[in-house]
Every structure is written in structure tokens, then in C-alpha cells.
Chains A and B, each alone.
Chain A
Amino acid sequence: MNETITFTGEHLLVGNLGKISIYLSFAAAIFSFLSYFISTTQATGAGTDTHFWRRLGRAGYFVHGTAVFSIFGLLFYIIQHHYFEYQYAWQHSSTELPLRYMISCFWEGQEGSFLLWMTWHVVLGMVLIFTTKKWESPVMAVVALAQIMLTSMLLGTELFGYKLGSNPFNLLRDVMEAPIFSRPNYLQLIADGNGLNPLLQNYWMVIHPPTLFLGFAAAIVPFAFAVAGIWTRDFSGWIKPALPWTLFASMILGAGIIMGGFWAYESLNFGGYWAWDPVENASLLPWLILIATAHTMLIYLKSGKALYTTFLMAIFSFLLVLYATFLTRSGVLGNTSVHSFTDLGMSGQLLIFLFLFLWLPSVLATPKQWIRMSYAVLSVIVLAANLTFGYIEWLSVSFMCAVLLYLFVSIYRITPAKQGAEEEMSSREFWMFIGALVFVISCFHIIAVTSIPVWNKLFGTQFAPAADVFQAYHSVQLPVAIVLGLLIGFTQFFKYKKTGEKHWLRSVLEVAAITLVLTIGMVLVFEISNPLYVFFALAGIFAIVGNATYILKVLKGKISVAGSAVSHIGFGLMLVGVLISSAKKQVISINQTGTSYGDNFDEKTNRENVLLWKNTPVLMGSYEVTYTGDTLVFPNTHYKVQYKGYDREKGAYTGEIFTLMPNAQINPKMGLVANPDTRHYLTHDIFTHVTSVPDKEATAKAPFDNFKTTEMRIGDTLKTNNGWAILERVTPNASDEVPGLKDADFVLTAHLKVITLTDSLTARPVYAIKGDMHASVEAVLQEAGLQFKLANILVDKTNVANTRFVIESAEKPPLQDYIIMKAIIFPYINLLWGGTIVMVIGFLMALLQRYRGRNRGQQKQNPLPTAAAEQPVPSVL
């Protein structure tokens, strides 16, 4: 129906260019994948052809990359120029959005975040092309395949009746049905876009998502190397080039997760840095397995063991990225997460993406050509059946489980085991391996709990997430962290392969003695009584002391090889920081008023918010806290909360004084969006956020009543319910402009001093005369709930002092100015932040160490001879 109308004011060129770029990037990704695929399968045949196909693959990838960058640029152009005819710009931005937050629009919408992910893959792919040498073709084939899947999420075209992806360049009028789109000038009626979620208008939200997505994107590299190893039957050669990438992905993803935690702490109002929200967990899952992967890779490189586990770890770290994507974007989480994406109808496509990459390693690991062929055919039949008849639950679920199981079996069968290798308890690799398994347990548990909505869908159950979310996660994750801390503390003292036990025991006993002393000290100082927490503290301290000793004694302070030990110290600091800041966190805003609700309910936890009247100080903990007023910095209202240190025992101020400015956006569409403000000290933080404010706008809009007309002389007092008003004087105005009356003959202003219970204010109503017309402008004092109007002047010509001024007063309930706020002290939270930074630095050091080692140790023999020569490269087609 739209065809007949010529719309005005639209900018269609940029959108058409964008759509062309999407199609081009899709086609180029397919081309690149096929070329790299052929290049890989022909690798064992005539060598000349592989170079040709590899060059084609590269060319395809460069075209793809250029197209992806132009999609990114064009979409940004649309947002920046406020072209609201495009649905993406209309839904995720607005004219008042500052430039620095326009980039955040990309990750508010699903399409933009896929685009970000693709862009990182492009960048990483370029690096891979130039650095992987003989691994280029198989590795890039896998990356290009992922790019095909990701680009398909942006296509927005119909294929055999199925909608593929969602196109960010869709026009609003094509997406939405509304009567205004029948008007050619509809764009003039769309004044502004929907705007960006205020929670995303924060500088952490500008840098945290790209970091996280770089981590996600980098996780494909170890996966691609593992698949390449299986594909080319070079089972061991892939690990060495993949290890720096694994460390890189762990480092970036870790940094991204920590930034997310810091953002939550700085600008969300749940009062903490980690809430075990499914979206947070989704980023944690691949990270845990990436770290485990790095460890098993090291085990293999040093001892030739754990090859099978390394394959599985590398494969699953990326599969978990895909699973996390499915979890947060398919809408399956529904009620359980506050900030997952809404369903764009892409869940089927996301499932296929996940399934394809689960299926890929297993089909490549199948040795016999005919089995491989029938496996592929069977999979296509299952897929086709699902697409034709709608989602067939039993078939899909059982097939997926079968493929998962077969993945384990097929890789196990082709992985060469190290001959005659005996596990040695007193070797470093044994305990590193245990550590990797503990990571698997941790990850498994988080998947199990987070996926409850998925289990409900699969098995038709009706489980709800645990009522006490923290308890549900901590019951397993706390012991896991304790075991990890202990493992980290002593494993470094073992040597690879075998260690003399005496030597080991002496070092560990020393460390244990120091740890014990420190732990007892800490338990006494912080009064930790929960035995689980005591062990937690012990594990953290043990990890720190163990690795510090290792750097000093074993490495003799050689910091260039201390990456892992530094990382481990960071982890230990993190544990200690988590423990003290959560176990000893103290809500100081305990309310003293209110009624009792019965004995079975915990009183203390229910009184964590305090109402503060403006300018009325309240004692909280060791502070006297005063709310001193608010200022509007559009679109946020900042509330000034003054803290004055107060010693209750001495009854005197300590001299410490500071003002916090928690802010809130009273958003008509989203309710109260509050951002906390925190005073940072080295040893503790004072966290403050506003939980509720009175609706000032509603009070301001409320009508006045109780109208009263009083004749007043200068000096007279008018009594109202809200306060007294004294007519101090009446002065002529310099200006003759009064609203509603131009060029007045004369203008008078009455000065009324208004005294309320809490305040002293001035009201200045205005009166103007022009010929026989007159006009009045009321003075409104919202904070006092009073309004004054100078309605008339009764001039007494004989006695000027007897001149009476007719004042019309009106009242309403005064504006209530208060805030309800919560204040929490987090002790030693800097140990947590410091620990995480140290850990990331450790990753970087280890990465540099591996990178240097890569160049130095080229001639070193691999622990296993490669099997490439013996087995032909399978071809699936």
C-alpha cells in the first residue's frame, strides 16, 4: 500500500548502501569460506593449487572486511544524523543524545551488537591471515564460516518463507503499522527517536561492551585452531600457535567482565558488583573454560599429556560463547533476567549457529569417508525436517544430545594418547589438570543453574530460579574458589613430570605457616566467624603467599617469566577482596521508624532505606548525613547528600566531610532510574543511592484551593495554613512588560516575606495597569504550597499610608522535599579491583612470554610426531 505514496524528507541512499554492504559482506564471506575450504582439502594434493585458493580466500575476506566496516560506518552515519526514518535510529537514539553515547546505540540493539562482534572477527581475521602461516587456510575457513552465520543475522531477507536475521537498515514505515505512514510527510510528525536507555548512557557502557565482544570474538581462535588440528590431522602442532590467542582471549574477556562488574557497582543500584544475573553468567562461562584451556595447553606443551582434554576445552570455550549468545538473545530467559535482549525471532537461527559449530569438529573427526557422508546427510535431513514441519522437539533434542556425545567419542578416537605415560601425583601437570577440572565443575554448575528456563522448555518442568540466588550459586562456587585458591598456592612448587618430594614439602610448609599466621590475623581483625569464610580467606592468602614465594625463591625475582604467578597473586587478592567486601559490607542506612511485621521475618534486612528530609541531619553509622537539595542536570536530577564524620562515643565531629551526588532520572517511561555515587577511600567505599523520591511534578501540577482575599496595608501579616506572609513593601517596576499586557502605564511589584515552619521565602506578585485594563501575575511558591496575587489596589488619596492592597492567596499541600536512600560501606573493595587488575597484567605478561617463546623455540621438537603425513585430509563434500 505504500508504493503509491511518495514520501518526503527520507534519506534512502545511505540505507540502500547499507543493505548492499550487508549482502556483499555475506556473499564475500561465503566466497572466502569456500576458497579456504578448497585450499585446505587440497593441501595434501598438488601444492600449487592451494596457494591460488588461499589467495582467493584472502581476497574474499578483505572484501568481506571492507563491507563490514562500511556497514558499521553507514549505521553510525544514520544514528549521528538522526535519520529517524530508519527503525534502528528511531528506536535506539534521540536528538538530544551526546555524540559520545551514539556509539552505545550499537549495543542496545541486537543487530548492532552482532555487527560489533563481526567487526572484531574481521580485525582478528586480518591478524590471523598475516601470522598463522601454514595454519591460515583451515583456521580462516572456520572464521569465515562464523562470519557467514553472523552476517546472516543482519540479512533481514526471506528465504523459502523463513525470515533470516533482522536488518538494521529497515525503514520504520516498513517495520511498523501505523496510520501516520499513509501521509507523505510522516517524517515531520516524528519529532524524536525513542532514545537510549539511560542505563547505557554511562562512560563504562561505552568501553565495556566492545571489550567483552573482543573477548568473545577472540575465543573463536583457539576453537578454529583445534578444528584445524583435527581437520588436517596435525593433532599437536596447533597448540603452540593457539596458546597466545587463548591467553589473549582470557585477558580481554576477563577485563571486559571486570569492567562490567565495575560499571554495575558504579552505576547500578543493586549495591554490588556481581548479581549472578544470567547475562553476567553468560560472559563468565567461556572465560572459565578459556582459562582451563590455557592450562591444559601448557600441560600438553610441557609433558605431552592432556591432548584430548585440550581439544575439548578449546572447542567448548567457543561453543559456550555461542550458547551464551543463544541464552541472552533468544528470549528464552524470559522472566529470569532483567537485562537480556528481547526476542527478534532469531532463536532458530541462533540454535543452528550453535549446532553447526558443535557438529563441525565431530564430522571432521570422523575418519571414514562414507560415515562422514551419511552423518552429514542425516544432519541435513534433521534440519530440513525441522524447517519444514516446524520445530520438532524430541527429534532436535535427541539429535543434539547424540551429536554432543559423538563429539566426545569421535575426538577421543582420533586423539593419539601418550604411550606409557603414568600420572605422577608429584608433578605440576597433575595438579594443573585437577585445577582445569575444577574450572569445568564451576562452569557446569553455572550453566546448570542459569539454564533453568532452558530445562523448563526442554523437559516441560516448572522450576523457578532459586529464591535466594546468591545461596544457589555460592553453595558450589564458594567451595570451588577455595579449592582453586589452594591448588594455585602449592602447584607452582612442583616441577613438570616429577618432583623430589622433600624439596616440595619444605617450600609448601613454609608457605602454609605464613598463610596460617596471616589468616588468623585477618580472622581476628575482621571478626570472621563463618567457617566457610575462614577457609575462603585462607585459600586466598595461600594463593598470594605461595606465588609471591615462588617468584622470590624459585624464579629468583625474574619477573619476565612470572606471568602465571602474577596472575595467581591477582586471583588470590580477588578472593580476599571479595570475602571482606561482601562478608563485612555494612548497610548504615538502617531505618529507626516504622512498625514491626512479626517475628518470622528478619527485621534488619527489611529496614535498609532511610528517609531524609531536606536539611534535616540523620545519624548513620559514624556519619551525620544531610540531604541539602537537588539540582537538575538534564535528564538527571542530582541529589546533594552531605556526610560529616561523627564520633558517637565522643559526641563530636571528626572533621571528615564530603558530599555525594547520587542521581536519578525520573523517566516517564521507565520510572526511577537511579545511579549511585560512591566515596572511595583506600580501605573502604561509601556507596549511596537514592531508592525513592517524591513525585515533585505531580505536587507542582496539583491545583491550588482555599482562595482567600485579604486587604493589606504595608506591614500587615496574612496568616495561612502553610505559613505567614508579611507585606513588606510595594515598588514600581522598571520594565513595563507584563505577560498579557504590553506597554503598561505602570507596573507594581509587591514584596511579601513568607515564613513557613522550615523556611523563609519571598513572594513577588506583579500588578499592571494600562488605561482601564489591568493584569496580575501571581507569585507561586511551590516549596511552601502558597500562591499570591496582587488583584487590586485601593488607593486612599487622603492618606497614602492607608492605601490597601488586595491580595488573593491560595494554598495547597507544600512540596515535600525528601529522598529515600540507602548507604552501604564496602570495606577493602579495592583489594578486589586491584586483584583483578593484577590478574589481567599477569595474563599480559604470560602472553608476552609465550609470544617471545614462539619466536625463540621454533626449532624445538613437538612432544608428539605429527600424523599429517599418514592420514589424508577428509573432505566432507
Chain B
Amino acid sequence: MKAKYILAIGLIGVLIAVVLTMYGDASSYVTFDQAALNPGREYHVVGELEKDSTMHYDPIKDPNHLEFFLRDSLNNVCKVVFNNPKPADLDRSEKVVIVGKMNPENNVFHASSILLKCPSKYNDGTLETKEYKTGV
């Protein structure tokens, strides 16, 4: 009988430890300002692509270097560097989630991954029609 209770208590202990680990590993959604306060830590920043400012990607010079500007929820704009080829649908994306950390020296956000939310053909139901006219 004793072993049963020891096991039960042990299991509960491990489960609590697991929850604490999860709590410790979880990141959080922040703005660029908050990410800058803690430069060593990786954060999620949700924002929109600054379409007016230039996106820089010159694959011939360096295929692993993409620069663009992102506007976060507080309307702060920050330069983002992503050391990977440019995601093909970045230009079309409405919302961008970047994961990475701030470089305090030059205030550039170094993204380790990018999540794009695009108006997808396969998810929403925007209607695509073609009209055929006669007598062209």
C-alpha cells in the first residue's frame, strides 16, 4: 500500500515540475520596446509589414540576408534582419509574427523565424471568377 502512495505523490510532484518547466520555457508576445529591455531573450512580436519602406534582399550578394521594417501594435517601426532566404509570400502577408531577439547595439531585431498570415486561397473563400467575353 505504501508504494502506491509514494508513486502517487511522486507523480504529482513530477507533473508540477513539468508545468513549471513549461512556464519557464514559454515566450511572450511583446512590442519592440519591451524586447529591447531584455536583449538576450527571445520574444514574439506581432506586426504589419511597412509596405512603404524598402525591403532589402539581394540573393546574389547574400542569399541568407533579408531586411525589412515591421510596425508593431504600438506603431513603433523597427528594422528586422532575417538570416534566411526571403519567404516567397512575405509581400502579400497581412500580419507577420517574428520570433527573435533585439540587438541592443544597433536596435535591429534579429528574427530566427517568421510566421506569415496571408489571405490564402485554400483557407478563406474569396471568390475567383473569370469572365469570357466574345469578340476580342
Q: Chain A: residues with CB nearer than 8 A to chain B?
A: 87, 91, 108, 175-176, 178, 180, 188-191, 194-195, 197, 335, 338, 342, 422-423, 425, 430, 433-434, 437, 440-441, 444-445, 448-449, 452, 462-468, 471-472, 475-476, 591, 593-595, 597-598, 600-601, 605-611, 666, 669-672, 691-692, 694, 816, 818, 820
The A-contacting residues of B in range 1-60, CB under 8 angstroms, are 1-4, 7, 11, 14-15, 18-19, 21-22, 25-29, 41-44, 46, 59-60
Q: Which residues of B contact A468 (CB under 8 A)?
A: 25, 42
Contact across chains for B131 and A189 when beta carbons are under 8 A apart = yes
How far is A391 from B53 in the complex, measured between Cα atoms in Å?
43
Q: Which residues on B sit within 8 Å (CB–CB) of A190?
A: 129
A189 to B129, CA, bound (A): 6
Query: If A338-B115, A437-B7, A467-B43 touch, does A820 touch B85 (CB 8 Å cutoff)?
Result: yes
- Contact, CB under 8 Å: B131 / A467: no
In contact, B28 and A449 (Cβ under 8 angstroms): no
Distance in angstroms from B33 CB to nearest chain A CB is 15
Chain B interface main SS type: loop
Which A residues touch B11, using CB under 8 A? 437, 440-441
A449 touches B125 (CB 8 A): no
Which residues does chain B contribute within 8 Å of A597, judged by CB atoms? 65, 81, 83, 110
Contacts A471-B25, A593-B62, A820-B63 known; list 14 others, CB within 8 Å: A189-B129, A197-B122, A441-B14, A445-B18, A465-B44, A466-B27, A467-B41, A475-B25, A476-B21, A591-B64, A594-B61, A595-B62, A595-B65, A598-B105
Question: Chain B contacts of A608 at CB under 8 A?
Answer: 64, 84
Interface string of B85-117 (1 = CB under 8 A from A): 111110010000101100101100010100101
CB distance from A198 to the nearest CB of B (A): 9
Closest chain-B Cβ to A478's Cβ sits at a distance in Å of 12
Residue of A nearest to B92 (CB): A671
* B85 & A609 in contact (Cβ 8 Å cutoff): yes
Q: How far is A619 from B1 in the complex, measured between Cα atoms in Å?
A: 66
A194 CB to nearest B CB, Å: 6
A449-B122 in contact given A601-B110, A607-B83, A608-B64 (Cβ < 8 Å): no
B15 near A671: Cβ-Cβ < 8 Å: no
11 A-B pairs within 8 Å (CB atoms) are namely: A433-B7, A448-B19, A449-B22, A465-B27, A468-B42, A591-B62, A598-B105, A606-B64, A611-B59, A666-B88, A691-B63
Minimum C-beta distance from B92 to chain A (A): 7
Query: Are A598 and B124 interface neighbours, CB within 8 A?
Result: no
Query: How close is A821's CB to chain B, nearest CB, in angstroms?
Result: 9
Contacts of A338 in B (CB 8 A): 115
Query: How many angstroms between the C-alpha atoms of A441 and B99 in the bound complex?
Result: 28
Kindly state the interface size class of chain B when it binds its partner: 35 or more
Say which residue of A441, A445, A609, A816 sits within 8 Å of B84 (CB atoms). Answer: A609
- Where the two chains meet, the residues of B that have a C-beta atom closer than 8 Å to any C-beta of A are 1-4, 7, 11, 14-15, 18-19, 21-22, 25-29, 41-44, 46, 59-65, 81, 83-89, 92, 97, 99-100, 103, 105-106, 110, 112, 115, 117-118, 120-125, 127-132
A residues less than 8 Å from B46 (CB atoms): 335
CB-nearest residue of chain A to B131: A189
Chain A residues with CB under 8 Å of B18's CB are 441, 444-445, 448, 476
Residues of B within 8 A of A471 (CB): 25
CB of B121 within 8 A of CB of A670, answer yes
Known contacts A462-B29, A606-B64, A611-B63: does B22 contact A445 (CB below 8 Å)? yes
Q: Smallest Cβ distance from A281 to chain B, in angstroms?
A: 13
Given the interface pairs A445-B22, A607-B64, the reply to whether A464 lies near B44 with Cβ below 8 Å is yes
With contact pairs A175-B125, A464-B26, A591-B64 given, residues A335 and B97 touching in the complex (Cβ less than 8 Å): yes
A437 to B1, CA, bound (A): 17
In the complex, which residues of chain A have a beta carbon less than 8 angstroms from the beta carbon of B97?
335
Q: Are A335 and B117 in contact (CB under 8 A)?
A: yes
Report whether B117 and A669 are in contact in the complex, using a CB–CB cutoff of 8 Å.
Answer: no
